[in-house]
Amino acid sequence: MTIRPILRALPLLFATSAALAQLPAAVDGQPLPTLAPMIERTQPAVVNIHSQTHVKVRDPFFDDPFFRHFFNSPGVPRERVQQSLGSGVIVDALKGYVLTNNHVIDGADDIQVTLADGRTLKGKFIGSDPDSDVALLQIPAERLSALTLADSEQLRVGDFVVALGNPFGIGQSVTSGIVSALGRSGLRGVGVQDFIQTDASINPGNSGGALVNLRGELVGINTAIYSPSGGNVGIGFAIPAKLAREVMRQLLAYGEVKRGSLGADTQDISAGIAPLLGLKSTQGALVTRVQPGSPAAAAGLREGDVITALNGKAVNASRELGNLEGLLPIGTRVAITIQRDGATATLQATLKPTELRKLDGGKLDAGLAGAELGDLPDKLRRQGLSGVLVHAVTPGSRAEANGLRANDLVAAVNQAEVRDLAELEARIAKRRNPQLLLTIVRGRSAFYMLVE
């Protein structure tokens, strides 16, 4: 029934001259909906980023002196160039600041930024935060356009959004969709997560590009997609503008991002542990240790408490607690909801920076001399790791002779677990015999190491 009126109208449309052969500006007095005016305003602030990284290539043959002599090779390390394509967003036209993803420019030796008008400018690296995958660049501030950062906390599921970027390096493209979900986490490779999920197509090269609302305001930085097949399946993720703004502020102020911590170690609650502790649920983060002098200690948190919420946001697992901590700046006052002895209580604490201690292993044992040992950084702790990190090993030292390498993780001493440097010191000081057997985690391997 609805087809006939449309068919009768077609001759009227096609009967017009070639110059007027287009859709009408209005139907029944109402203008046709279009995103074109908003896109025209925002596109000049979205840039393409091309980065190059020189990587040394090791060749087992040319590492051998015999082969170098035989092939008359001087043994100069060879290099290969890794190239990366991505996108970025100008957020300050007067100072030339550009937000992008850390993984777009990580380790780059040369960064070129191409504007929508075709100009290519050299990008200056200001700083980055691998935990949130945000990086800040600066380009010469000449005839630039910038996007206004919106309050991303006002976003709602169902809001229309538009993604702008440089997919596959083919040039600027625009896709549209809605906000599918908020507060997403659990993605691999990113420590601090509070993602906006959208079904606007985000493809390789879109990383670092803009996610805007229909007013053309920046609500997020496009970052990743969920793709079992390698193609777009309508599940993309963007870093909220509020988080990107805070990262940029700290990078400009301190050159790094300083995050607060409660100073408590936690673990997940398994179905086997719950009944032994008198718990009716496995949801929450079980407190296994409260660091002396920490905000958690000052708040009255105890071992055996179960943290179920932080500032009203539910905590279902230990990783979620670490993520919520990482999203809050130093000095933030937080309400900790806990379960203790079957009752619910709320504690108050103020987040402080984690104090990472380091010392020369020779102060603990002569066999560790030359190894710089220290506490784990927050990024590794939020991943559920514990132990003592070997930050550096002096060439020719006793520690090197015993087999220690930089980035080794000391997980136990004489088969007794250590969670940080203080525990390592205590275990070594209280040992009953001079033998020192370390449990080392190196990459994906774990092994014993006898220190002599």
For 181-215, how does the pLDDT look when each residue is reduced to its tens digit (9 = 90+)?
Answer: 988 877 776 677 888 999 988 877 788 999 999 99
pLDDT digits (tens, 9 = 90+) for 130-143: 888 999 999 998 89
Q: From CA 324, how far away is CA 336, in angstroms rounded?
A: 11
Of the residues 207, 294, 318, 397, only one is catalytic, namely 207
For residue 199, the enclosing domain spans 152-254
* Cα–chain center distance at 83: 21
Question: For residue 351, what are its two tokens?
Answer: 């987040």
Q: Is 54 a catalytic residue?
A: no
Domain match, 232 and 323 both: no
Query: In this structure, what are the phi and psi dihedrals at residue 324, rounded to the nearest 5 degrees?
Result: -65, -40
Of the residues 92, 129, 131, 133, only one is catalytic, namely 133
387 in a structural domain: yes
pLDDT on residue 127: 92
pLDDT on residue 215: 92
Domain match, 397 and 319 both: no
Asked whether 113 and 126 are in contact (CB, 8 A), the reply is: no
Query: In this structure, what are the phi and psi dihedrals at residue 25, rounded to the nearest 5 degrees?
Result: -70, -20
The amino acid present at 427, given as its one-letter code, is: R
Of the residues 87, 92, 103, 265, only one is catalytic, namely 103
Q: From CA 425, how far away is CA 430, in angstroms rounded?
A: 9
pLDDT on residue 77: 54
Those residues of the chain that have pLDDT short of 50 are 1-21
Q: Is 133 a catalytic residue?
A: yes
CATH number for the domain including 232? 2.40.10.10
Domain match, 302 and 210 both: no
Q: Which long-range contacts (CB under 8 A, 24 or more apart) does 392-400 make?
A: 394/370, 396/370, 397/369, 397/370, 397/371, 398/362, 398/366, 398/367, 398/368, 398/369, 398/370, 399/361, 399/367, 399/368, 399/369, 399/370, 399/371, 400/370, 400/371
218 in a structural domain: yes
Q: Which residues of 44-60 are buried (b: 16+ CB within 10 A; e: fewer)?
A: bbbbbbbbebeeeeeee
pLDDT on residue 342: 83
Domain count along the chain: 4
Q: Which of 226, 254, 282 is where one domain is finished?
A: 254
Domain match, 379 and 427 both: yes
pLDDT on residue 10: 34
pLDDT on residue 11: 38
3 in a structural domain: no
